[in-house]
Structure 1
Amino acid sequence: MVHIRDLALPDFPLLLAPMEDVSDPPFRAVCKANGADLMYTEFISSEGLIRDAAKSKKKLDVFDYERPIGIQLFGSDVDTMGECARISTAAGPDLIDINYGCPVKQVACRGAGAALLRDVPKMVEMTSAVVKATHLPVTVKTRLGWDESTLNVTEVAERLQDIGIEALTVHGRTRVQMYKGDADWRLIAKIKENPRIKIPIFGNGDIDSPQKALEYKNRYGVDGVMIGRASIGYPWIFREIKHYVATGELLAPPTVEERVAMCRMHFEKSIEWKGARVGIFEMRRHYAQYFRGLEGAKQWRMRLVETDSVDEVQAILEEIAAAEPMMVG
């Protein structure tokens, strides 16, 4: 097993990445149903929590069916991050995670996320403040460095472990790379091989198939992997990886009936958590992925994104299930 303090995860756990505007409770529900071992909230602005912003507070919602679940925070002010760790702890997650990896301009240019890779002493100070503010395990997600000339994640891993973090996830790109090019896991492997490092090390970046998950497990020796974009509209990636790692055999892809059932579950959870208007609107980004590769997928998707009716969405999903369209391409 893999342990984050007293939190016991299975061997080679699969983590769901915290993705802005994606990793909300409805999405986490379908990923959990398909085998995700540890999940995180969308990242939450520490400044937003301090201002009592409704959107930030809503992201604190965690449910027992999701456990184990971590709340992820980002920010640029040390004291504010400590206070937000206390607020987040009261929401009842299993751990607190700090985002030192987000590359987007709106975050990094405000001195948060991946920007802290250019100020490791401040990163250490901020992490220490969060560790002291909560009784929960604290974990961190980061990148290889700001750019190719500052690949400092090995130093980061040692210094953050020394002040009390209990797991580290590393995305195999720099901030400058954003999400372009191939993720490079060689530095992640070096962290895992470092005799000073005792905490679990999870790898992130480009895991989009069972074969690649097992290959990277064996090649880089990580304790587990974090999956992000490959799970959007395809939560079955978790069960497929688990089966392949255990047996060496590929599972058959989900049937049309399974696709419809999982899409319906996601839709109903969305309505339940967000209300009909917002729930219908925000589900529109997921339909293309749920039905990708099915004959007539474009027509089904267009009908789904054009309706504002809960009942009509349900009726269209029933039509898709009844039609049993073939896979194409």
Structure 2
Amino acid sequence: MLSIGSYTLDSNLLLAPMAGVTDYPFRRLCRQYGAALATSEMLSADVSLWGSKKSRTRIPQQQEAAPRSVQIAGSEPQQMAEAAHASVQQGAHIVDINMGCPAKKVCNKAAGSALLRDEVLVRDILQAVVTAVNVPVTLKFRTGWSVSNRNAVTVAQIAEDVGIQAIAIHGRTRADAYRGYAEYETIRQVKMNVGIPVIANGDIQTPLDAAFILDYTHTDGLMLGRAAWGQPWIFWQLGEFFKTGELPAQPDVYTRSQVVLAHIRAIHDFYGEETGVRVARKHIGWYLDRMTSDPSYKQRIFSTTCSNNQLAAVNDALGIIALTQY
């Protein structure tokens, strides 16, 4: 079990916050399959922007199961504190601080992983947020700004010192973006040097990956990001492996098809017709990429702007794929 502040999670498997991906339908689905915590998409610390339709969909939903975690990003301590306070008012039970995003549009504003260059500012932001709210605050960050500047141990110690309740570390630097392979030695060193829960993130694709990383780093939990695209049941697979020691098969093609269709319907219901069809495309693409190597299935699906037609096209494609696998 993994505890974050007063919350004891059902497992040590978490879904990483990902912009444009971890919306409410996807968070709910991953939690159904065993993700013990699913943090929201990144929200700007500028609360004046939260009135937009896009921002409203990123705020944790009141019907969402507890604990509800929201991630905020910014570079001004007071603004981050205000965003944290507003998040709690909107129903967040945990506030997560983003110091890991490598995207240029975030780093150019001196937010995300760009903050790792300024350890004084890191401390000021973390302290401001912890002081502003009475709920657990967590931190997600990278191993450093560049390979020659891996300062994750120092940042982790700052986090523990100011009252951060848990940290998640992606095993790449900001300069690495998502290239190459994650490294876990830095994460192992962090775990050796702090007493708060440490969660490893990066390149966890299979149960064997997960077992190796936990054994090597001795971290308290694992956070999955891209590995969950198109296969939210991976949390169930990892959970089964940890319980039994045996590698579980994927759900059968019929079960997977039903999950895909239910997920698309949930996206349509949550966003409405136009936005729902557009948002669903990326998830449909990821599901199909994991089920078939034939790109032709996507053509009809991606060309429609009607939710009913999109759903029907996916249903037809899944039916054909199922026949080819029996």
Query: What's the TM-score, normalizing by structure 2?
Result: 0.94
The answer to whether the 8 Å contact 2:18/2:42 transfers is yes
CA distance in 1, matches of 2:18, 2:281: 17
Whether the 8 Å CA contact 2:198–2:221 is kept in 1: the answer is yes
Bigger shift: residues 307-316 or 81-90: 307-316
Q: Distance in 1 between matches of 2:44 and 2:198?
A: 25
Corresponding position: 1:265 with 2:259? no
Identity of aligned residues (%): 35
1:260-299 alignment to 2 at 5 Å?
Answer: 260-292=257-289, 294=291, 297-299=294-296
**Matched residue type, 2:95:** I
Q: What's the offset of the Cα at 1:96?
A: 0.1
Provide the residue aligned with 1:8 in structure 2. 8
**Which residue of 2 is the match for residue 167 of structure 1?**
166
- Amino acid aligned to 2:25: P
In the TM superposition, residue 296 of structure 1 has moved relative to its aligned partner by 7.8
Q: Does 1:74 align with 2:73?
A: yes
State the 1:318 CA deviation.
3.5
Secondary structure of 1:68's counterpart equals coil
- Which residue matches 1:226? 223
Deviation readout 1:280-302 (Å, 9 max, x if unpaired):
11111121221235458533322
CA contact 2:60–2:69 (8 Å) conserved in 1 = no
- Cα shift readout 1:64-119 (whole Å, capped 9, x = no counterpart): 44432210000011111111111111111220000011111111121101111011
Deviation string, structure 1 residues 143-169 (Cα, Å, up to 9, x no partner): 111012211111111111111100000
Q: CA deviation at 1:187?
A: 1.2
**Structure 2: distance between partners of 1:116 and 1:191:** 18
Q: Give the drift of 1:31.
A: 1.0
The separation in 1 between residues aligned to 2:270 and 2:68, in whole angstroms, is 17
Give the one of 301, 323, 326 matched to 1:325.
323
What is the DSSP-based 3-state SS (H/G/I as helix, E as strand, rest coil) of the residue aligned with 1:311?
helix
1:196-246 deviations in Å (ceiling 9; x for gaps): x22110000000111100111111111011000010111111111111111
- 2:204 is the alignment partner of 1:182: no
Q: Note the aligned Cα RMSD (angstroms).
A: 1.8
The within-5 A match list for 1:1-329 is 1-11=1-11, 13-47=12-46, 49-54=47-52, 55-194=54-193, 197-292=194-289, 294=291, 297-323=294-320, 324-327=322-325
Q: CA deviation at 1:127?
A: 0.9
Structure 1 residue 327 displacement after superposition: 4.2
In the TM superposition, structure 1's runs of 4+ consecutive aligned residues that sit over 6 Å from their partners are: none
Structure 1: 5+ residue stretches without partners: none
**Do the aligned partners of residues 326 and 248 (structure 1) sit closer, same or farther apart at CA in structure 2, a change above 3 Å counting?**
farther
Q: For residue 110 of structure 1, what is the amino acid of its counterpart?
A: K
Shift of 1:36: 0.8
Amino acid at match of 1:15: L
Of 290-299 and 67-76, more deviation after overlay is shown by 290-299
Contact 2:99-2:139 at 8 Å conserved across structures: yes
Q: Is the 8 Å Cα contact of residues 257 and 318 (structure 2) preserved in structure 1?
A: yes
Could you give the per-residue CA deviations for residues 136-191 of structure 1, whole angstroms, max 9, x where no partner exists?
Answer: 10000001110122111111111111111000001111111111111111111112
Change (3 A) 1:52 1:288: closer
TM-score (norm 1): 0.93
8 Å CA contact 1:293, 1:327 repeated in 2: no
Evaluate the alpha carbon distance shift between residue 211 and residue 131 of structure 1 in structure 2; reply closer, same or farther with a 3 A threshold.
same
Unpaired segments ≥5 residues, structure 2: none
More displaced, 305-314 or 278-287?
A: 305-314
Alignment size in residue pairs: 324
Q: Identify which range, 54-63 or 68-77, moves more after superposition.
A: 54-63
Question: Contact 1:85/1:96 (CA < 8 Å) preserved in 2?
Answer: yes
